[in-house]
Structure 1
C-alpha cells in the first residue's frame, strides 16, 4: 500500500512539474535576402553558398519567413535574373517572403518620406513574384529594427504599412549574429585555405551556437520577468555563410531547450504583440521585449545579464561593438 501511495505521489509530482513547464515557441525570420553581404561575396561562390543555406533549411524543415532587400537583386541598377532565382528557391521550398525595403535604409537617418519610398521600391520585384503564386507580401521588417524616434513617426509609418497590406514583423530575440557572420565571412574570403583558417572557422561556428542559444535563454527570462510567461518569440537571423553551416544546429539547439518552431502568424497571435513598437525613442533598434520594458519604466538592472559578442569575434569582424 505504501509503495502504491509513493508511486501515486511521484506521478502527481511529475505531472505538476510537466504542467509548470513554459509553453516555449519560437518563430524564425531570416533577413537580407537573397544574401546578406552580396557586394562582398565572391560571385563564383554565391550560388554554392546559397545552395548550402537552402540545404540547411530543407534539413530542418521548420517554418521561416525571409525578408528581401531588393537592392541586392541589382547590379548597376539592373535586376539580375540569377538573383531573382534565389528568391524563387525560397518560394519553391514553401517559405514566405516579406519586404525589408529596397536599400536597407535607416529611417532615423533618411526620414519618413524617403523611407516610405524605399518600402515601395522594395516590392517592385517581390509583389509580382508573389502574385505568380497567388500571394502578396504581407510582412515588413524594419532595417536595423529602427521604427521611428517619436510616437507620431511610428504611428505614421505603421499606418502607411497597413495601407499597403503589411504587418510589422517584430524581433524579440535580438542578437549580434551579424557580427559572428561578418567574422566568419572575413576569415573565409580573406585568408588562404590553410588548416589555421579551418580551425578559426570551426572556432567561430562552435562559439556562435552557444552565444545564440544563450540569447534565446536570456530573452525567455526577460519575457517571464516582464510578462509573467514565456512569450512566443521571434528570432532574427540573416542569409549568410555562417548560417549556411550552422542553421540546422541552431534549430536543434532550441528544440533541445523545449521550443517548438512555429509560424510567424502563430507567434503574433499572442496579445503582447498588440503593444506595438512604442516605448523607445532612441537612435537604435532594441528587442520588442525591451521596448515594452522601457514603456513600463523598468530600472536599468532589469536589462542586466545579456550575452555579448566576445572581443576576438569583434576583431575578426572588423567592428567595435554589436
Structure 2
C-alpha cells in the first residue's frame, strides 16, 4: 500500500498525535531482533568467529528470543565453515534472510540495477538451502535507490521474486561503536572496555526511546519495532545485556515475522532518500521537522564516539 493511499484514509492528526500516552502501557511495546552482515569469518580480539556466533545464539536463547539473521554470503556463507555458522541460526529456530553477496551500495554510480539484483539472486541460491530461510530482503545500507529507475526497478524485482522488503524501524549505529571496541582491543586485548559497554547500552536505549516516540507521532500508537544490529564483536560480547535492558525498559520481544505482519510494514514511502529507518523516511515525507532526539538518529554514533574521546578513548 502506498503511503499516499494510507494518508488519504486517515487524518493528519492521527499521525501527529502528541506523545502523551507513550508511557501509559509500557507492556504494549514490542521489538523484533534482526542481525545483518552475518555470519563472518573475520578474526577479532577475544573471540573467534565460532565463539562470536555461539555467544549471540546463546544470548537469544537465554532470553527466549526468535530473531532473524540477514546473510551477506561472501562474508562467510560461501565457505564450509561460514555456511555452518549460518546454518546454526536456522537450526536454532531463527529466520534467515538475504542481505546480498558482497554488500554493494545501490546508490553508487558504479553499481547498476542489474548487478545489484544479481547479488540478491546469487545470495538466494546459497541461503535457500538453509533451515529458517525466508523470502526477505534487507537493503544494504537501507538504501532503496537514489533514482526512480533503481527504486522502482527494485520494487518490481522484489515483487516478481516474491520477496518482502525487510524494513527496519529502529536503526542503530552499533557498527560504529564496534569499530571503536575493536580498535581499543586491537591495541590491548586486556583493556578495560566497560566504558564502551555503557556507551553502547545508552546508545541503544536512546535510539529505542526516540523511535518509539516517533511511532506515536506518525502512527499514534506503539508499532512492533524492528531493530537493526550487526553480526559483530560488540554484540557477541553484549547482546545479552542489550536484551536484558529491553526487558528492564518494559519492552517485550516479538518475532520478525510477527512484526512484519503489522500494517505499517506494508507502507511504501514514495521518496528517494539515503539509508534510513522506515519511520524516519515516513516522517520526512510527512514534513516532520526537528523533534527531541531526532538529531541523534542520523549522526552514525558521533555523539557516543565524541563522549568516548572525552574519556580518553
Task: Give the structure with the higher percent helix.
Answer: 1
Report the CA distance between 1:81 and its aligned residue: 0.8
Aligned to 1:58: 61
Report the CA distance between 1:50 and its aligned residue: 2.3
Aligned to 2:188: 192
Q: Does 1:146 align with 2:143?
A: yes
> 2:237 & 2:79 partners in 1: Cα distance?
26
Unaligned runs of 5+ in 1: 1-16, 318-322
> 2:145 & 2:283 partners in 1: Cα distance?
17
Report the CA distance between 1:252 and its aligned residue: 1.6
Aligned to 1:257: 249
- CA deviations on 1:27-86 (whole Å, 9 max, x unpaired) are 110001113xx4454798222222222222222221101100011126xxxx32111110
CA contact (8 A) 2:35 2:68 kept: yes
CA contact (8 A) 2:46 2:189 kept: no
Q: For residue 247 of structure 2, give the secondary structure of its aligned residue in structure 1.
A: helix
> 1:18 & 1:193 partners in 2: Cα distance?
42
Unaligned runs of 5+ in 2: 1-20
> 1:302 & 1:273 partners in 2: Cα distance?
24
CA contact (8 A) 2:169 2:226 kept: yes
TM-score by length of 2: 0.82
Aligned-pair Cα RMSD in Å: 2.7
> 1:142 & 1:40 partners in 2: Cα distance?
25
Aligned to 2:216: 224
Say which of 280, 289, 294 aligns to 2:284.
294
Aligned to 2:264: 272
Q: For residue 204 of structure 2, give the secondary structure of its aligned residue in structure 1.
A: helix
Q: For residue 168 of structure 2, give the secondary structure of its aligned residue in structure 1.
A: coil
Count residues in correspondence: 284
> 1:19 & 1:212 partners in 2: Cα distance?
18
Q: For residue 56 of structure 1, give the secondary structure of its aligned residue in structure 2.
A: helix
> 1:193 & 1:302 partners in 2: Cα distance?
38
> 2:249 & 2:279 partners in 1: Cα distance?
20
Report the CA distance between 1:221 and its aligned residue: 0.6
CA contact (8 A) 1:138 1:165 kept: yes
> 1:316 & 1:259 partners in 2: Cα distance?
28
Q: For 1:198-237, list aligned pairs within 5 A.
A: 199=192, 201-237=193-229
Report the CA distance between 1:193 and its aligned residue: 3.5
Aligned to 2:168: 171
Q: Which has the larger radius of gyration?
A: 1
Report the CA distance between 1:191 and its aligned residue: 1.4
Q: For residue 313 of structure 1, give the secondary structure of its aligned residue in structure 2.
A: helix
Q: For residue 122 of structure 1, give the secondary structure of its aligned residue in structure 2.
A: helix
CA contact (8 A) 2:47 2:233 kept: no
- CA deviations on 1:190-249 (whole Å, 9 max, x unpaired) are 11344xx1x2x2211121011111110000011111111111111001111111121111
> 1:108 & 1:305 partners in 2: Cα distance?
23
> 1:84 & 1:30 partners in 2: Cα distance?
16
Aligned to 1:3: none
Q: Does 1:104 align with 2:103?
A: yes
> 2:219 & 2:139 partners in 1: Cα distance?
24
> 1:249 & 1:182 partners in 2: Cα distance?
19
- CA deviations on 1:136-159 (whole Å, 9 max, x unpaired) are 431110010001124553232122
Q: Select between 225-234 and 53-62 the one with higher mean Cα deviation.
A: 53-62
Q: For residue 198 of structure 2, give the secondary structure of its aligned residue in structure 1.
A: helix
> 1:42 & 1:83 partners in 2: Cα distance?
18
CA contact (8 A) 1:31 1:237 kept: yes
